[in-house]
Structure 1
Amino acid sequence: MQIVFQDPYASLNPRRTVRQSLSEPLRVHKAGSRQAIAQKVQRAIEEVGLPQSALDRFPHEFSGGQRQRIGIARALVLDPEIIIADEPVSALDVSVQAQILELLERLKRDRGLSFVFVSHDLGVVRHFCDTVCVMYLGRIIEQGLSGQVLDHPLHPYTRVLRDSSPLPDPKARITLTKIKGEIPAPTNLPSGCTFHPRCTRARPECALQIPALGAMSTSHSVACFYPLNADVEKRIGDSLGAA
């Protein structure tokens, strides 16, 4: 497992060349001779679309997109099976974001990599991710296939999250959804469902019990007593009354 950080400049040591930064993980793990390490570093930098001449330069000599490619190369040198990408494109221009996402797609396909992709940009999530987990105050409140969750949200927070995202179409005229109240302090969470103080569908029992993540279909789960689906809502409401 490896990680790609959000800020490509802060994640690189400004006093080390690219070669030194990429070689260090291999040396720490004793992954071959000096010559083998040098060859692997060269392959990694080329795989992310940078020339070998970049290896002897320092981070400040690169653009933000190039620095992120270096961060990705550093994650690749140890041949991970999974990469945690923490907002890897949020600090980049839109055109550069597209290039980095294309690179990650290629790596996913060619290397058979899996990604845990952390992002608040729903457009990027829809483009890159197969499945999505929506979190609120540290708990997963909905999960499923990306298209299902974003097009047919079951949790009220997921719908607000989706409806508060602007559309990249200048002709589109939409009213962005607002959400009442403030996010509670993580050190003083509300009782029951942590979203209930801000939820327009909240009922008394929402403040008393923490809803479990339950499967609504084979590929869609939600943690809500009254999800955004009439049939599901009635079924859960009946079971709650019976309890």
Structure 2
Amino acid sequence: MKKSILMSSLFLATALVSQSALAEIKVRAGVASSTYKLSGDYLEGKSDYKPTNFGLTFSSDSGMYLDLAFSGGTGTHDVRNDPVYAPFQSASESFKREDAALIGGASFLNQNNGIAGTFYVGIKTGKTTLGCGISCVTRTSETLTTSGVVFGGGASFPVASGRAGSVGVNLGIGVMGNKWEASEGASATAETAVGFSFGVSYTYPITSNFGVIADYKGNYYSYNFGDSNNPFKVNESVSALGASLYAKF
């Protein structure tokens, strides 16, 4: 899926450049402190991990933009830290999370007050791998793979007429699917779920082409898996407090 997102981004970037003059390319990289939580009928627990983030944004002089983002990190989870799993109960198992998104949108700047509005639509994927080496007999891991469409909007407000940077807020809605798979071959597919995301950020330009971003992001979804004979629910949330450096060309 990541490969298809990368190929799609290259195609759309080419189309963006061909339709209007490319005004700016922005690259960014950073780290975050993230919390991943699961709850529902059978799985409950969380993982605190520190992913690295990379992004690339193509912007045109008309206000249209294309953003490609990747993040990933590893840690441990405590999903199996429950007496129900005895005698294979485990307080700590391996954890891995990967995310990718391709977003296109348009922004509009109010020249009088410096406030910018934006709307966007795109595709997003995520993959969570829960290790099961200690707490399971034959199973070594479980994965939850999500993919779908996201859309939303936001606004950016200048601080001290832009001399001290800007504060941004955004809110989005996602229509996502989810597939659960276990290492021994068991699997289940969730019904399409509607969830939401939100974020706040502060951007400070150190120079005209270089700066820093501090942000907080949250994503929340609830999925219904299985069929009428064996249904089960999984609630998934990911939150992250991060910092990034960016450079504009």
Q: Structure 1-normalised TM-score?
A: 0.26
More helix by share: 1
More strand by share: 2
Q: Structure 2-normalised TM-score?
A: 0.25
Report which of the two structures shows the higher radius of gyration computed on alpha carbons. 1
